[in-house]
Amino acid sequence: MDKCLSDNLLLQYLLNDLDTDTCEIVRVHLNECPSCQKRTEIYSEDSELKQWQQCHLRRQNGDDSQYHPFSQDKLDRLFNSTISSIQQSKTAVAKKTLPSSHNSNILLRKEPEQTPIRVIGQYQLIKKIGQGGMGVVYESIHSRLKKQVVLKLLLNKDWENTDQTQRFYREMELIGQLDHPNIVKATDAGEADDTCFLVMEYLDGHDLKTILKQEGPLSITAACSILRQAANGLQYIHNHDLIHRDIKPSNLFLTTDGQVKILDLGLAGLRHEGSSLDDLTDTNCIMGSAYYMAPEQAQSIKTIDQRSDIYSLGCTFYQLLTGKVPFRRETPVETIIAHREDSIPHLVDQLPEIPVQLEELFQSMVKKSPDDRIQTMAEVVRILDEFLNQKNELLLNESSDTYLTESQELKELCLKTVLTPPVEAQKYYSSTHYQPSKRILKYKKTIIIASIILMTGILTLGIQYISRTNHFTNTKLKSTSTIPNVRQPKKANSKSNPTPALTSTQATIERDAANWALDHGCEIKIVVPYGEEYPTIEQKKSLPNEDFYVKTIAFKKIQMITQEKLSRLSGLTNLYELQLNDNPIEDDALAAISGLTSLQILDLHASGITDKGLSHISNLKSLTNLSLQINPNITDEGLQVINQLQNLVSLNLAKTNISDEGLIFIQNNQKIDWLNIEGTKVSDESVKHLKKLILLEHLFVKGSKISKAGIKEINDFFKKRKHLPFYINPTP
């Protein structure tokens, strides 16, 4: 046989997916063809093919519950690079011809495998892989280095088009100047055969548009990892006084090692004027994609800045999570108008389990006015890092029962990806939502104080105040429930009233506590009287000279939590949130904070807290959010204290040692709207107790003893309410 086996036929043979006669013919060929033997032996230990074989066998055995088809990307790589060992037959078998039912043109291939379709300079163009408005993209080989690259060739018809040619040269120059792991790297550029070309690194993987088409909406974990990488690369671009102007899924490429690469800088524009590389378009020209274009970009590309890229990336984030663009109308013009005039959609309407901090991030990225948006990609990266760095078991194992799943391969890929260090923003812009200037803060304080004295306009100012500070109050929720892949519960606003002035004694207590906390590996947040909260503080030198209240303390350095340590916080009259999670805690430690009547959020997950230790929180009557997740020493007896906390709206009991008897103690907590009992011994016996939580909106029972019938009964009961939504995981 003078022809080698195709990868398709070889893979079918390895998967035992051929009829008997064809299988024997392939076996004979393998015994006699060194080339095919070598192809198979090189990849003899591939794990991906073994996974596929297991899935294939499960499917043959009728076990559809464990059968998960692979994406086309996975199949492509199986064909090209994942061949396991072949058990060669020891018995000589006579040669046979292939059955006529098989097309030899498909199953067999000639060697050499491919020949160049064109030669440009030192590059052999092997295969066309894409085409855009300015050029054609080819998979290519450097003729001397034998290195695989991607070559972008300006369309011949555009060679005489001065604008197109100059724009192509701009892309060559821009990419050549940029060097960042999240931006496609240029390796060469030049002119040949009356055209110009750009050579870039070869990327193995797919763009996000293709992935969305194949996989559908991505998981929260994967989407955040992708968004974070794209934002970091864009911040690097913005630091070089460039704006991409065409961010969309097809211009973001996900490699097989989980790295995001930003593509297509052909539309990139300079942020400052007077450069030789200034825009090649007139003021009225619209550049970009209507589905992702910021309102101001549709009006004039001459006046936009990096915040337009932030808007486009926000639209992309929405599509990664939902599979839909935020604004889709019948025509591009109608879509552009919708971006400008229609209300911003909410992620929670599509994904009830979306965390509040991610909803807030999306909303802040797609505000109509650039001044109202989050101002830099660096801030986007910071928020996502806070989210992704949460060491939460449920984040790393997002439920496969929901419609938010993509292939396990993609999820694991994103989780294992090493993220590049954050790029700091070199330029900042004032923002009414995230970065108020000191001058504005001072002015706003004056207005608030005057309004209190005069008792006029207080409602308007209060709404303004809350809207500008809700980022602080809501991002704290992530540490409360410690379940990032679900929407957080509603809770009281810690800033519904201006914080009053401090006495000199109280000011000393607050500052001493802040200094002690910072000396002991804590992060804190503070608020000044009648003013704004400060960003997270990690060092004493960041404390202001003016008086302040301590609002949040998070023990980030792992340490034993004792009564003596917490006693240093006992005098804080406005402490709103305390994070003790992941730190071992002594039984008597919480007795020191039993007088913190202002405390609303307490995070004790994975702290080793016991029933005895928990009993000390009975006096925390203002508590709204309590997380006890991953504390196996919490039993039914420990839940007796919950009945005394009648303001609770969020309770996390996942992976505690509770059963149906414990649920009796919380059935009268009528304000609870968010409850997690995953991984507990709670069974169908507790269905009647759960029904008494009349405000319940989110319930998580995966891994508990509640049956499918019980889940359905709960779901049907709460779905009958007309005034409140209800979400249960897993869904019935």
Q: pLDDT, tens digit, for every residue of 443-479? A: 334 333 333 333 333 323 232 332 333 333 333 333 3
For residues 429-447, give the mean pLDDT. 36
pLDDT above 70 for 305: yes
Q: What is the pLDDT of residue 474?
A: 34
Q: What is the pLDDT of residue 132?
A: 63
* CA 274 remoteness from chain centre: 38
* H or E element that contains 198: strand 195-201
Is 246 designated active site?
yes
From 73, 158, 207, 246, the catalytic residue: 246
Q: What is the pLDDT of residue 1?
A: 44
| Residue 418 pLDDT class (50, 70, 90 cuts) | low
Q: Among 35-49, 79-93, 295-309, whose mean pLDDT is lowest?
A: 79-93
Q: pLDDT, tens digit, for every residue of 250-265? A: 889 988 878 899 987 6
Q: Give the tokens for residue 19.
A: 């009829």
Q: pLDDT, tens digit, for every residue of 585-635? A: 999 999 999 999 999 999 999 899 999 999 999 999 999 999 999 999 999
More confidently predicted of 309 and 242: 309
Distance CA 6, CA 14 (A): 12
Distance CA 326, CA 610 (A): 47
Q: Among 177-191, 305-319, 506-520, whose mean pLDDT is lowest?
A: 177-191
Q: Among 18-22, 70-74, 82-86, 306-310, whose mean pLDDT is lowest?
A: 82-86
| Residue 99 pLDDT class (50, 70, 90 cuts) | very low
Q: What is the pLDDT of residue 494?
A: 42
Counting beta carbons within 10 angstroms of the beta carbon of residue 627, is it exposed (0 to 12), middle (13 to 18) or buried (19 or more)? buried
* H or E element that contains 625: strand 625-627
Alpha carbon distances (Å) from 255 to 202, 407, 535: 10, 15, 35
Cβ(268)–Cβ(406) below 8 Å: no
Cα torsion at 172, 173, 176, 181 (round to 10°)? -80
For residues 504-512, give the mean pLDDT. 93
Output the CA angle 694-699-700, nearest 5 degrees. 160
pLDDT above 60 for 15: no
Q: Give the count of beta carbons closer than 10 Å to the beta carbon of residue 139.
A: 17
Distance CA 268, CA 236 (A): 13
C-alpha closest to that of 703 among 411, 400, 488? 400
For residues 47-72, give the mean pLDDT. 46
Place of tokens 């602080």: 472
| Residue 648 pLDDT class (50, 70, 90 cuts) | very high
Query: What share of the chain has pLDDT > 90, as a percent?
Result: 34
More confidently predicted of 571 and 205: 571
* H or E element that contains 56: helix 47-60
* H or E element that contains 152: strand 148-154
Q: Give the count of beta carbons closer than 10 Å to the beta carbon of residue 437.
A: 11
Query: Is the CA virtual torsion 374, 380, 385, 388 positive or negative?
Result: positive
pLDDT above 60 for 542: yes
Output the CA angle 323-329-333, nearest 5 degrees. 125
Distance CA 460, CA 466 (A): 10
Average per-residue pLDDT for the chain? 73
Distance CA 712, CA 701 (A): 12
Query: Is the CA virtual torsion 188, 235, 292, 362 positive or negative?
Result: positive
Q: What is the pLDDT of residue 594?
A: 92
C-alpha closest to that of 231 among 370, 413, 436, 424? 424
Q: Among 41-50, 474-483, 507-516, whose mean pLDDT is lowest?
A: 474-483
Q: Is the pTM of this model over 0.85?
A: no
Output the CA angle 705-709-713, nearest 5 degrees. 105
Q: Which residues pair with 650 in a beta bridge?
A: 625, 674
* H or E element that contains 151: strand 148-154
Q: What is the pLDDT of residue 729?
A: 85
Neighbouring residues of 663: CB distance < 8 A, sequence distance ≥ 6: 639, 677, 682, 686, 689, 690
For residues 651-662, give the mean pLDDT. 94
More confidently predicted of 695 and 454: 695
More confidently predicted of 147 and 415: 147
Give the residue ranges of DSSP H helices in 486-605. 504-519, 563-566
SS3 248: coil
Cβ(492)–Cβ(520) below 8 Å: no
| Residue 400 pLDDT class (50, 70, 90 cuts) | very low
Q: Give the tokens for residue 453.
A: 């004295």
pLDDT above 50 for 698: yes
Q: What is the pLDDT of residue 167?
A: 64
Alpha carbon distances (Å) from 616 to 591, 650, 730: 5, 19, 34
User: How long, in residues, is the chain?
Assistant: 732
pLDDT above 70 for 320: yes
| Residue 239 pLDDT class (50, 70, 90 cuts) | confident
DSSP 551: E
| Residue 438 pLDDT class (50, 70, 90 cuts) | very low
Counting beta carbons within 10 angstroms of the beta carbon of residue 720, is it exposed (0 to 12), middle (13 to 18) or buried (19 or more)? exposed
Q: Is residue 152 a known part of a binding site?
A: yes
Cα torsion at 6, 9, 14, 18 (round to 10°)? -170
Q: What is the pLDDT of residue 174?
A: 66
pLDDT above 80 for 228: yes
Q: pLDDT, tens digit, for every residue of 352-369? A: 889 988 999 999 999 998
What radius of gyration, in Å, describes the C-alpha atoms of the chain? 30
Structural domains in the chain, CATH included, are 4-108 (no CATH), 118-201 (3.30.200.20), 215-416 (1.10.510.10), 639-732 (3.80.10.10)
For residues 208-235, give the mean pLDDT. 89
For residues 100-112, give the mean pLDDT. 33
Q: Give the count of beta carbons closer than 10 Å to the beta carbon of residue 562.
A: 14
Neighbouring residues of 637: CB distance < 8 A, sequence distance ≥ 6: 611, 662
Strands 549-555 and 522-527: antiparallel
Q: What is the pLDDT of residue 521?
A: 92
pLDDT above 70 for 161: no
